[in-house]
Amino acid sequence: MKRILFLFITVISVAVTNAQNITDALRYSTEVLNGTARFNAMSGAFGALGGDVSSLSVNPAASGVMIRSVGSVTFSVVDNRNKATYFGTNTESSYADLNFNQAGFVFVFNTPNENSKMNKFSLGFNYIATNNFDNEVFVAGTGNNSVGDFFVNQANGIPLDLLQLQQGETNSSLYQYLGETEGVSAQNAFLAYQGFIINPTENDPNNTQYYSTIADGNFNQTYNQSTSGYSGKYTFNMAAQLNHKISFGVNLNSNFFNYIQYTYLQESNSNNGSLVNYVGFENNLSSYGRGFSAQFGVIAKVSDAIRLGFTYDTPIWYNIYDETYQTLETERTINKETIYEYINPQIINVFYKYELRTPWKIAASAAYIFGKQGLLSFDYSYKDYSFTRFSPSNDPAFSSENNNINNNLKGASSIKVGGEYKFNILSLRAGYLYEESPYKDKTTIGDLNGFSGGFGFYFGHYSVDMSYSRFEQKGQFNMYGLTATASLKNVRNNYTMTIVYEMN
C-alpha cells in the first residue's frame, strides 16, 4: 500500500530521466544529403543557386532567382552497409529499401510594374525526408566483460526490498511501479534480480549493494540492432528578388521524426563459478517528435557569372514522446539441471513529453556560372552541436545529459562542392561532400566523406534526372550494457530518380 501512495507523487520527476542520451540528441539533430536527383548528384552544393526545388532546403532565397515555376517528385533506393569488428571478429550487415523522399513546387510571379524595385516574388512548398533510419547492425565476438556488470551498476543504490515481490504483487505490477517511481535503472535491476543475474551482498531489505552471479572470464556475445523510421520537414517558402540582383527568402518548417529501435544482446559463457550461463536481453524503443524551425537566406548576383549566398538556420524545437519495452531471459545450471527464466512484464513504458533543441547553423556559398554550358558551386556550413539541449533543464538527469553534450560535442564544419555541364539535352553532374565529426574525440563518430554523380535529360517542359551518391563514416558502436565497443564502418549508397515539370 505504501508503494501505491507514492505512485503519482514521483512519476513526473523520475519516469523520463533515463530514456534520453547524447546519441538521441545527435540522431535528431543530423540531416543526411537528400533531395532531388540533381541536388544529390551535386552533393547539395546549392546555397548560391536556384533552378531546383531542393535548393530551398539549403537557402530559402533560391526560389527568388528561379526563372520559371517548377515542380518535382523524387524516389530513391537507400542501401546501408555496416562492417563491425569486435575483439577480432568481423561481421557484416545490410539493409535496403525504396523511399519517397521529396515532392515540391515553386510558383514564380513577375512584377508587372517595370519601375518596381521588386522585379519578382515566389511562393513554394517542399517535402523532404531529412534522414532515413532504416538500418541493420550485427556484432559478434568473444568479449572479456559481461552484461552482468551493467546490471550491477544499475542496481547499486536501490534497496533490495524494491526488487522483491511482495504479497499480491506480480512481475508486471512491480515492474510498472518501479518505472513510475524509481526510473529505468530500477526496472533493469528488477529484471536482473528476478533473472538471478545479480544477488545482494547482504540478505537485508535495506541492502543497496549487489554482485554479479556471472564469473569473470570469456563471453560469447552477439548483438542485433534493427532500426526503422525517418525524419522530414514540410517547408513553406517565400522569396523576392530586388533589382534583378539580390534575392531574399524565408522558410517556415514543420519538422517531424518517427524512430523505432529493436536491440537484442545474447551472451553465453562456460566460466567456472558462474551461476548464470546464458543471458538474452531485449530492448525496444519507439520515439516520435514534432517541431518547428525557420531559415533565412540571401543570394546576391555579383555579375552574370558569380553568385554569393548566405543562410541562417534556427534550431529545431522538438516535442518528443518515447515508449520502451523490455524482456530478459536467462539459463542457469543447478545440480546438472538447466533452469530457464523468462521475465516479460508485458508493460510498455510511456514517457512524459520532453523537449529537444537542436543546434543552429550558418552557411556561406559561392557559384560560378559559365553561360548556358554549366556551373561550379561551393558551400561551407558550420553547426555547433554543443548547443544541443534537452529540457526541462532543471531536471537533474536532463542537466547531467546536457553537461555530457557540452563536454563531448563541438562545432563541426561541412564542405560541399558540385558541378554541372550541359550537352544539348544531356546534363552531367558530380559532387563531393565532407562533414566534420561532431565529437571532440573524433573516434566515437568519425568524419564523413562522400562523392556523387548523375545525369539528366531535358525535354522541354519535362526533365528526368538520375543520381548516385556514396558516403562513408567510421566510428565506435556501443552495445547496450557492455563497456567494450565495436569498431563500425558504415557505407550509405543512395540511388535517386526525379521527374521535373516546368510550368511556364
Residue type, 6: F
SS3 category, 478: strand
CATH for the 2-145+211-502 domain, from 1.10.4080.10, 3.30.70.20, 2.40.160.60, 3.40.50.740: 2.40.160.60
Q: Please state the domain extents for the chain.
A: 2-145+211-502
> If you search the block for the grid coordinates 512584377, which residue do you land on?
111
SS3 category, 18: coil
Q: What are the pLDDT tens digits along the chain (504 aa)?
A: 333 333 332 333 333 334 578 989 999 999 999 999 999 999 999 999 988 999 999 999 999 999 999 999 999 999 999 999 999 999 999 999 899 999 999 999 988 777 778 889 999 999 999 999 999 999 999 989 999 999 999 999 999 999 999 988 999 999 999 998 898 999 999 999 999 999 999 999 999 999 999 999 999 999 999 999 999 999 999 999 998 899 999 999 999 999 999 999 999 999 999 999 999 999 999 999 999 999 999 999 999 999 999 999 999 999 999 999 999 999 998 888 899 999 999 999 998 889 999 999 999 999 999 988 999 999 999 999 999 999 987 888 788 899 999 999 999 999 999 999 999 999 999 999 999 999 999 889 999 999 999 999 999 889 999 999 999 999 998 887 677 889 999 999 999 999 999 987
SS3 category, 202: coil
**pTM of the shown model:** 0.90
Number of helices and strands (H, E) in the chain?
9, 22
**How does 11-28 read in b/e, with b if 16+ C-beta sit within 10 Å?**
eeebbbbbbbebebbbbb
| Distance separating alpha carbons of residues 474 and 455, to the nearest angstrom | 29
Per DSSP (E only), the strands in 164-205 are: 198-200
| Distance separating alpha carbons of residues 245 and 227, to the nearest angstrom | 46
| Distance separating alpha carbons of residues 293 and 144, to the nearest angstrom | 46
